[in-house]
Structure 1
Amino acid sequence: MPPDPPARQVLDWAGAKARLDAIEAAIEGSAAPTSTALDAMLEARARDLARPVPGASTRPSIDLVAFHLGQDRLGIAAGLALAVVELTGLTPVPGLPPHYPGIVLHRGSVYPVLDLGLLFRRPRVAGAPRPAYGILVRQAGSALALAADAIAGIERVDAGDFAPATDAGIWQHLVDGVVQGGTLVLDVHRLLADPRLVVHDKQ
């Protein structure tokens, strides 16, 4: 007799969700989350979003990587974030503008580190530590590591919860909107198109 066909595997949705929740809880409960844990969470989110969940709400939503820079809480779409790295390996490069404090290497690629506060001429408080993390983004051939003082975590928000940012200060022309909790959502495409990011060789 032919062998019985292998039993069909049933995905353990509850177990998968529990593992994802555990990763998120570990990050949100830590004062200094590691880049490895954040990468694991980004990858888990990507896998989670890549497959339909039975009975899930069809209301559009978006995941944000929320971070702190100075006194501001900012966010970018998680789908644009390749990884989060610690800036312990930051390498200064002579001749770069002040808003580029250096470069970092990740998996064989070079990412200039961009301090948005310095780009908008907001000096750091004297004695304040330099940003501890870089959020790696790559779009249309441009690659950057957005400097962050701290990573707040991943926030899932409904598209309907976006509100216009009418008083975003220095971020006004870069902000898509603001979500509950005060996170300002940056338009990464608009940021990467800023001509001040282009470094010209000095003759």
Structure 2
Amino acid sequence: MQGENTKSGRPSTARFDYAAMERKFAAALAVIESGWKPTLEDSRRVLASRAQALAMVQTPDEAAEACIEVVEFHLAYERYAIESHYVREVYPLENLTPVPCTPPHVLGVVNLRGEIISVIDIRVFFDLPKIGLPDLNKLIVLESEHMSFGVLVDAVTRADKIRVADIQPALPAITGIRESYLKGLTADCVAILDGGKLLSDAGIVVNEQVRES
């Protein structure tokens, strides 16, 4: 055993082979490293996953600059906007035909190049006060995959971009059905309507049935 005396009573003078031990460590390290080395397929999979993750993550600067495109309009002396991808076209109101037995907010229908479009007065739908003498003569046609209808407004003012970071929650004073269809307000008091909710509400254009006596 190491440290025992030789037969002559003197301790062993055999030297430790550091070079051999270094070679063994180097060989063991090479085996370990080769065991953890990924294959070409593994490397490609990892790189693809990292690229996908990086593409999905916005930097703080990108998030701060994210914008939505909107069409802005006036209604009852207030400023509203709706995301432009819900707007199919803007059309002058012509030849409105009233339809009996419809909800109060349905003013009637118009014929746009052979297509019958329901016309909605969202002042009534949102319970907005009818103040002054508004000039309701512009029709904003909203459209989704399953529904389309026209919203009657006083004037269409512009198309614009609004930073998402600038959109604030609706004020507590705005309650009821109006609040539920708002995405939020901008600092200069433009109310952004939720076009997705409007176009997913089947009751907004459903005709009421006439009850037979």
Matched, 1:165 2:170: yes
Task: Count residues in correspondence.
Answer: 146
Q: Is the 8 A contact 1:132 1:147 kept in 2?
A: yes
Q: How does 1:1-203 map to 2 (within 5 A)?
A: 59-122=65-128, 124-125=130-131, 128-129=133-134, 131-167=136-172, 169-170=174-175, 171-194=178-201, 196-197=203-204, 198-203=206-211
Shift of the alpha carbon at 1:195? 5.4
| Runs of 4 or more consecutive aligned structure 1 residues displaced over 6 Å after TM superposition | none
Q: Is the 8 A contact 1:168 1:175 kept in 2?
A: no
Distance 2:163 2:88 in 1: 22
Change (3 A) 1:121 1:164: closer
- Local SS of the residue matching 1:185: strand
Distance 2:152 2:187 in 1: 23
Distance 1:68 1:61 in 2: 21
TM-score of the superposition, structure 2-length normalised? 0.61
CA deviation string 1:97-131 (max 9, x = no partner): 221111122232221111111123345247x2551
Choose 153-162 or 117-126, whichever is displaced more. Answer: 117-126
Change (3 A) 1:110 1:189: same
Q: Is the 8 A contact 1:65 1:155 kept in 2?
A: yes
Larger radius of gyration: 2
* Letter paired with 2:81: G
Shift of the alpha carbon at 1:168? 5.9
Distance 1:202 1:190 in 2: 27
Distance 1:161 1:120 in 2: 24
TM-score of the superposition, structure 1-length normalised? 0.64
Distance 2:67 2:193 in 1: 16
Distance 2:149 2:68 in 1: 22
CA deviation string 1:149-186 (max 9, x = no partner): 11121121122221112236252111111123211111
Structure 1: which 5+ residue stretches go unaligned?
A: 1-56
Shift of the alpha carbon at 1:67? 0.8
CA-based RMSD: 2.2
Structure 2: which 5+ residue stretches go unaligned?
A: 1-60
